[in-house]
């Protein structure tokens, strides 16, 4: 009777070991599969507030009071995590020195362009370096009429974002931007009207596209 019981215990042990080994084997396979297939990182969408600060000797810094705005960027990964995509930002401002700018009240700047750069992934943080070029329109209003000042904008922007889950994160992005303006002015005013420098800060939501942005 004792021998029979011992035999049964050993048998049970072997069965348990066998099941455990299968379980471990399956678990290892699952992890391997996950490592082999990390999901797709298609890109992301940034939607956030946009706060420009003008600096240097230019008509915006000398004669305007800048308000906030917003920006939206779509970044589509191409090769690895090199991204390209469309970029849109806008902000409002009011004219504070009409003798320097002309007799109008306010302006809304709209920048439409394209951006390109590279994304890095460190645990739950996504870092990115990007640059872009676009068409900058200052839609001015005054005297019951509207008129535009236009130019070409270039910018460089690092960005840091934190993943809240696979599809959603928050981002902050400082930006250095220069607008090359097309305004026809006498030589004496060229320094003031030929270009505008901005340091901008934007922050908001980052929507990740694809299943590859898993939390670590």
Partner 1 sequence: MKQNLIKLLLLTILVSLTGCLGDDVDIENNRRLLIKGKITDTQGNALPNISVITSSFGDALGETKTDAVGNFRLVSLDEQFDPLDIFINVNDFYNPNINEDYGSRRYLSPEHTNRVLYELGTIVLGKIASLNISLNNIAGDENTLSYEVKFTPSVCELPLNVLNPPDNCNLAESSSGNLTSSSENQIVPIYSVQGSNVIFEYSLNGGSLQTIEIPLTNEDNNYVFEY
Q: What is the dihedral of CA 62, 63, 68, 73, to 10 degrees?
A: -70
94 binds partner 1 (CB under 8 A): no
Q: Of these, 72, 100, 172, 201, which contacts partner 1 (CB under 8 A)?
A: 100
* Pair type for strands 195-209 and 168-181: antiparallel
CB 82 within 8 A of CB 54: no
CA–CA distance, 210 with 29 (Å, rounded to integer):
23
* The two structure tokens encoding residue 128: 């990115």
CA–CA distance, 26 with 159 (Å, rounded to integer):
40
Task: Considering only the stretches 71-79, 113-121, 187-195, 203-211, report the one whose residues sit in contact with partner 1 under the rule CB under 8 A.
Answer: 187-195
Q: Of these, 193, 198, 203, 213, which contacts partner 1 (CB under 8 A)?
A: 193
Q: Of these, 4, 5, 80, 103, which contacts partner 1 (CB under 8 A)?
A: 103
104 binds partner 1 (CB under 8 A): yes
Task: Give the contact letters, 23-62, x = binds to partner 1 (CB under 8 A), - = no.
Answer: ----------------------------------------
Q: Of these, 86, 114, 142, 204, which contacts partner 1 (CB under 8 A)?
A: 142
Backbone angles phi, psi at 105, to 5 degrees: -95, -50
Task: Considering only the stretches 15-23, 66-74, 163-171, 183-191, report the one whose residues sit in contact with partner 1 under the rule CB under 8 A.
Answer: 183-191
**Angle, CA of 80, 132 and 70, to the nearest 5°:** 105
- Residue 120 pairs with which residues in a beta bridge? 127
CB of 188 to partner 1, least distance (A): 6
CB of 54 to partner 1, least distance (A): 17
Q: Among residues 128 and 192, whose Cβ is nearest to partner 1?
A: 192
The position carrying tokens 């066998």 is 18
Residues that bind partner 1 (CB under 8 A): 98-104, 140, 142-150, 181-186, 188-189, 193
């Amino acid at each position: 009777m004792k021998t029979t019981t011992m035999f049964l215990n050993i048998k049970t042990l072997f069965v348990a070991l066998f099941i455990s080994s299968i379980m471990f084997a399956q678990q290892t396979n699952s992890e391997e599969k996950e490592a082999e297939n990390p999901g797709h990182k298609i890109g992301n969408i940034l939607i956030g507030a946009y706060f420009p600060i003008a600096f240097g000797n230019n008509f915006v810094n000398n004669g305007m009071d800048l308000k906030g705005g917003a920006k939206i960027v779509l970044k589509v990964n191409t090769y690895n995590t090199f991204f390209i995509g469309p970029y849109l930002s806008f902000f409002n401002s009011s004219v504070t020195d009409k003798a320097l700018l002309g007799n109008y009240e306010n302006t809304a700047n709209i920048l439409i362009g394209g951006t390109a750069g590279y994304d890095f992934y460190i645990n739950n943080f996504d870092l990115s370096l990007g640059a872009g070029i676009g068409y900058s329109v200052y839609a001015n209003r005054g005297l019951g009429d509207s008129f535009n000042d236009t130019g070409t904008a270039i910018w460089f922007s690092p960005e840091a974002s934190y993943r809240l889950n696979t599809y959603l994160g928050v981002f902050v992005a400082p930006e250095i931007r220069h607008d090359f303006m097309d305004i026809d002015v006498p030589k004496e005013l060229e320094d003031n009207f030929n270009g505008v420098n901005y340091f901008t800060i934007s922050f908001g939501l980052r929507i990740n596209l694809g299943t590859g942005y898993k939390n670590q």
